[in-house]
Amino acid sequence: MRFARVVGTVVATIKDPKLHGEKLLLIQPLDDKLKESGDIIAAIDVVSAGPGDIVYYTLSREAAFALKSVPPVDAAITGFVDTVNIEWEKVDEDLRKKVFENN
């Protein structure tokens, strides 16, 4: 799971039938301090997110499982981020990398 901010919408009049009725959003990936990290990507929205929302998302095959129809998607918004609280002094650096860089 990764963090992102919703920055826009996607309109696609022709798309895979499994995506009909589904909302596509543009999201800006964020790092563990909620700073921009990486390129903007398109993601299917299963939680009714909107512009400016901080969300978490999944990538790859797991993203397709966010919908019952298992559509051909690479990213899916699967929840909202309300708060992030981390006590870095108590978190092992290897664990930090695993949590924020390998998911």
**What are the b/e assignments for 41-67, b being 16+ CB within 10 Å?**
eebbbbeebeeebbbbbbbeeebbebe
**Can you give the CATH number for the domain in which 22 is found?**
2.40.50.220
- The model's confidence at residue 73, banded by pLDDT at 50, 70 and 90, is confident
For the whole model, what pTM was predicted? 0.74
Is the pLDDT score of 70 beyond 70? no
Residue % of the chain over a pLDDT of 90: 30
Question: CA-based Rg of the chain, rounded to a whole angstrom?
Answer: 14
Overall domain count for the chain: 1
Note the pLDDT tens digit of each residue in 24-62: 999 999 987 788 999 999 998 989 999 999 998 988 766
3-class DSSP assignment, residue 13: coil
Contact assessment for residue 85 and residue 33, using Cβ atoms and an 8 Å cutoff: no
Q: What local confidence, expressed as pLDDT, does residue 77 receive?
A: 92
- What is the domain range of residue 59? 2-101
CA-nearest of 98, 94, 93, 81 to 34 is 81
